[in-house]
Amino acid sequence: MGVGKRKLTMAAVAVVCAMTVLGAPVTAYASQAKPAEPTPSPTPTPSSSSSSSPDPGSTPVTNEELERVRTKLEGLYHDAAVATDAYNAAEEKADKQSEELVDLAHEVVKGQQKLDKLQDLIGAAARAQYRGAGLPPEVRLWLSENPQDFLEGADRLRQGQLATKGLLAEMTQTQQDLEQYSKDASARWEKLETNRKAKEKAKKKIKKQIAAAEELEAQLEDDERERLTQLEEEAAQKSQAAWLDSGILAEINGKATPQGKKAVEFATNQIGKWYEWGAEGPDTYDCSGLTSEAWAAAGLTIPRTSQEQWRQLKHIDIQDMRPGDLIIYNADASHVAMYLGDGSIVHAPRPNRKVSIAGAGTMRILGVVRPDA
């Protein structure tokens, strides 16, 4: 899955080698493969009342208590989605900074090679000038059998001095460039470390929220979990019915572009694959991993996270939606789905769920964006 793409290791090796040439101290941080994730053991309860915390072997909980459980689960998975977006954003920034560090490393190596060459040229020019300038000009003129030869030699000497001066200026500039590359590399290392910490913090929060949700569900008996699923479906159907009853579907009649059709085809081909936070396929996806990869398959690069998709892509009125457009959900843009037409979406819902088709109005819509505007 998409938990670190190994580019950071490559950048670390390249820059550390290059910075060694300069003699500048560098602290390297390399991304690591995703370790086996231990499961925390929080003890959430649906409410402050002990009777609302389902316990295997006890009297089955009421629908009201299950509704509180559903609401609690919704909140936990929402927080996990927000943290997933933060994780994905930090990972995307780290990948970009890793690539920049590799480029800087190449520039450092080229700059050092250029500096070495300039030093050799300057040394050769200095030796030549020393050999030709051992006597004062008037003595060399007096000793010269041909004054014209002396004048030509003096002109060549002057040109050599000017060339040497140019080489010195170029060497000075190259040294300054190398110093700047060193400063830039150090600054990017600091940003990489900041994003590494942000990723780790987001990862911990994701795991904590998901573990809490799973433990909460585990406290239910099998028949109670079935009733909880039914309550979730009923809530979604009620929300979708209210959205359709608004008459919005009668106003939506946009047709997909060729690119939009390709994006829809890719997304629907992933139906049945499990949700996994931070994943961009090909076997598992999170919500924005699915939409970004679908549009990549259609030949268009879009932001990786749902929040950046909402921020950067063109906003479209709901009634102007067409298949392939992305519907952003929740006030914090923490979820995204792809519109299919006829009031339906395809999305990667949440942990322990598979990529599936749902009603576009089953969640609170923030707005719609169009990748191929």
Active site residues: 287, 335, 347
Say if residue 8 is exposed, middle or buried (CB neighbours under 10 Å; 0-12, 13-18, 19+). buried
CB-based contacts of 286: which residues, under 8 Å, 6+ apart? 84, 88, 275, 276, 277, 278, 279, 280, 348
Amino acid of residue 258: P
> Which stretches does DSSP call E strand in the chain?
314-316, 326-329, 335-341, 344-347, 356-359, 365-370
Say if residue 131 is exposed, middle or buried (CB neighbours under 10 Å; 0-12, 13-18, 19+). exposed
Q: Give the whole-angstrom CA distance, residue 279 versus residue 289.
A: 6
Contact (Cβ atoms closer than 8 angstroms) between residue 97 and residue 195: yes
3-state secondary structure of 67: helix
Angle, in degrees to the nearest 10, between helices 63-132 and 222-245: 80
Angle at CA of residue 8, ends 281 and 291, nearest 5°: 25
Contact (Cβ atoms closer than 8 angstroms) between residue 324 and residue 371: yes
Instruction: Report the first-to-last Cα separation within the chain, whole angstroms.
Output: 30
- Could you check whether the bond before residue 54 is cis, i.e. omega within 30 degrees of 0? no
